[in-house]
């Protein structure tokens, strides 16, 4: 941004008289505002040439001193500019002894007034929706807190709904998103570091963490990775995710994306960091492990036994989603002796009219199912679900009757698709869906040996991965038995008294010991 402003300023450095040029030479960088009011106005007009939505409102301060308000229509509060800037300053009565700064403090009913002295700061303020006020005789401008733009209301996240828990979700406004976190975590230890990324978009990004819980080295590493991003623009948090993750070529995400404030706050309380990006409801959480992608917020809003059962179902169907078509191909092609005789005869009868081998049959069905799933996502909401469901039923039935695929293969693909929907995180589900195809090819050429080789390759890849320097399979590899109470099973809340090991060794305990409920703990009960 500074580079662009310097280019624009270099075009206007010869504008004006020799006095203006001398004033410009007095300033070390060209980015500083000039002492001459006319030169400042001319520079801003040259910067915003062919920008019809940028308004230059000139007026006389108490009928004597020239002043100018610059703002963008649609981003600034025009009613506030009229009521709180133009009306009080255009009154006929004025105190001669009162300075311009005193006028701002005493007569402008605006909560935020910030003094700025560079063109870059002025352009950033205008682009954010904060008007700037220039006054003759002043070499500083004033950014006024009078922004007002259209924003979406707070709604329940469509992709992360649940039976129990908060119904609030982030939206595209960064200010609302930070306030939702502040409303849950009220401690001043919650820190939010602002920064801007993108040469042209100047996207506002906030790094949130709890001081004393998050490791200082982790926060410094995330901050350094964010600051070294040099790009034209940031349109969604995925841009940042790709720029700061450890392994960009891995199908598995190393950063958790969520649009639920309660999930973001839960990770903050565990010592992780949250990255909020203006213009998107999806926040980023780092560091994470593979098991963070399998856990759901509802695991913590249910009783421990139910949470553990659902979590184990998730792990089981994760394996089904990844391996079921490959197992079907391998057993039917190379290992028919593993199938009971009655079932094998039934499957052979259903495949009698199918002209393709099992691997081709599976690829046809899997690709068709993925196409239907993507079509259901891209179509309008009113017809998307109907098209995907009806299309799957009609195409599946027609393919079986035409002899292109067998009925058992349709059942296998349907079960695989249902299993993939049990993965809470869409990015993790996409990784499993992508890995399913190479495993099917290995199964069709090497049988069960190919499946075992694929599993070993995936395990090696996961063990070698890190999320901001932390092992991706932690706490399973390396093994930390105490932390398995929130991974392989869901322990009661009173048992989870420690935080994950990689999120700050200085404050490891999150609650007092001995909180297990007991009838003897009643305050008024006599022994």
What pLDDT, in 10s, does the model give residues 386-400? 666 667 777 777 888
Find the mean pLDDT for residues 68-85: 91
- In terms of residues, how long is the chain? 527
DSSP three-state, residue 207: strand
99 contacts: CB under 8 Å, gap ≥ 6: none
Q: What are the structure tokens assigned to 280, written together? A: 């998107």
- pLDDT tens, 400-454? 888 888 888 888 988 998 898 889 898 999 999 999 999 999 999 999 999 999 9
Closest CA to 73 of 111, 133, 127: 127
- pTM (2 d.p.): 0.85
- Alpha-carbon span 277 to 197, nearest angstrom: 10
- Contact indicator for 191, 221 with CB cutoff of 8 Å: no
Residue 382: pLDDT band (50, 70, 90) is low
Q: Select from 134, 110, 111 the least CA-distant residue to 122.
A: 134
Q: Please determine, for residue 94, whether its predicted confidence score (pLDDT) is greater than 50.
A: yes
In this predicted model, what pLDDT tens digit does every residue of 335-369 receive, in sequence order?
888 888 888 888 888 888 888 888 998 998 888 88
Higher pLDDT, residue 226 or 373 = 226
- For residues 361 and 405, the answer to whether their CB atoms sit within 8 Å is yes
Which three-class secondary structure state does DSSP give residue 316?
helix
In the prediction, which pLDDT does 375 show?
79
pLDDT given at position 26: 41
Task: Answer whether 486's CB lies under 8 Å from 496's CB.
Answer: yes
**3-class SS letters over 432-470:** HHHHHHHHHHHHHHHCHHHHHHHHHHHHHHHHHCEECCE
Alpha carbons 509 and 362: distance in angstroms, whole number: 50
Mean pLDDT of 91-118: 71
Read off the pLDDT of residues 33-55 as tens digits, 9 standing for 90 and up.
998 999 999 999 999 999 999 99
Q: Are 171 and 152 a contacting pair, CB within 8 Å?
A: yes
pLDDT in tens, 139-191: 889 999 898 877 788 888 888 888 888 889 999 999 999 999 999 999 999 99
The answer to whether residues 215 and 502 touch, using CB atoms and an 8 Å cutoff, is: yes
Is-contact 400 352, C-beta < 8 A? no
């Amino acid at each position: 941004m500074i580079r662009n402003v310097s280019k624009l300023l270099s075009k206007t450095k010869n504008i004006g008289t020799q006095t203006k040029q001398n004033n410009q030479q007095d300033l070390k960088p060209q980015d500083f505002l000039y002492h001459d009011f006319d030169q400042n106005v001319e520079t801003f007009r040259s910067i915003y040439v062919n920008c019809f939505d940028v308004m230059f409102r000139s007026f006389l301060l108490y009928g004597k001193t020239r002043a100018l308000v610059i703002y963008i229509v649609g981003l600034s509060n025009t009613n506030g500019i009229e009521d709180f800037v133009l009306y009080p300053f255009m009154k006929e009565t004025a105190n001669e002894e009162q300075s311009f700064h005193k006028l701002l403090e005493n007569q402008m009913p605006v909560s935020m007034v910030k003094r700025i002295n560079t063109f870059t700061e002025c352009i950033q303020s205008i682009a954010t929706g904060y008007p700037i006020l220039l006054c003759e005789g002043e070499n500083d401008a004033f950014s006024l807190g009078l922004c007002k733009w259209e924003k979406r209301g707070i709604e329940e996240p469509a992709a992360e709904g649940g039976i129990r828990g908060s119904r609030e979700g982030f939206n595209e406004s960064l200010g609302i998103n930070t306030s939702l976190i502040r409303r849950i975590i009220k401690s001043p230890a919650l820190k939010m570091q602002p920064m801007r990324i993108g040469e042209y978009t100047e996207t506002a990004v906030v790094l949130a963490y709890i001081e004393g819980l998050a490791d200082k080295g982790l926060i410094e590493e995330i901050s350094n990775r964010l600051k070294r991003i040099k790009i034209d623009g940031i349109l969604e948090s995925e841009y940042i995710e790709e720029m700061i993750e450890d392994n960009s070529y891995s199908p598995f995400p190393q950063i958790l994306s969520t649009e639920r404030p309660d999930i973001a706050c839960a990770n903050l309380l565990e010592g992780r960091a949250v990255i909020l990006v203006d213009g998107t409801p999806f926040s980023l959480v780092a560091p994470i492990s593979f098991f963070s992608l399998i856990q759901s917020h509802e695991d913590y809003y249910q009783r421990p036994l139910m949470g553990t059962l659902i979590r184990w179902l998730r792990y089981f169907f994760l394996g089904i989603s990844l391996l079921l078509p490959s197992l079907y191909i391998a057993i039917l092609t190379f290992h028919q002796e593993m199938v009971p005789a009655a079932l094998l005869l039934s499957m052979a009868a259903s495949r009698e009219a199918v002209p393709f081998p099992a691997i081709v049959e599976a690829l046809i069905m899997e690709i068709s199912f993925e196409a239907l799933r993507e079509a259901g996502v891209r179509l309008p909401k009113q017809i998307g679900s109907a098209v995907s469901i009806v299309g799957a039923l009609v195409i599946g039935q027609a393919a079986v009757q035409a002899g292109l695929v067998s009925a058992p293969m349709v059942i296998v693909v349907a079960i695989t698709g249902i299993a993939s929907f049990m993965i809470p995180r869409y990015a993790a589900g996409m990784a499993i869906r992508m890995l399913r195809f190479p495993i099917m090819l290995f199964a069709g050429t090497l049988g069960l040996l190919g499946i075992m080789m694929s599993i070993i390759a995936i395990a090696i890849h996961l063990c070698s991965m890190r999320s901001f320097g932390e092992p991706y399979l932690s706490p399973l590899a390396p093994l930390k038995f105490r932390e398995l109470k929130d991974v392989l099973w869901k322990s009661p809340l009173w048992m989870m008294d420690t935080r994950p090991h990689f999120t700050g060794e200085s404050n490891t305990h999150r609650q007092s010991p001995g909180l297990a409920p007991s009838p003897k703990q009643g305050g008024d009960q006599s022994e």
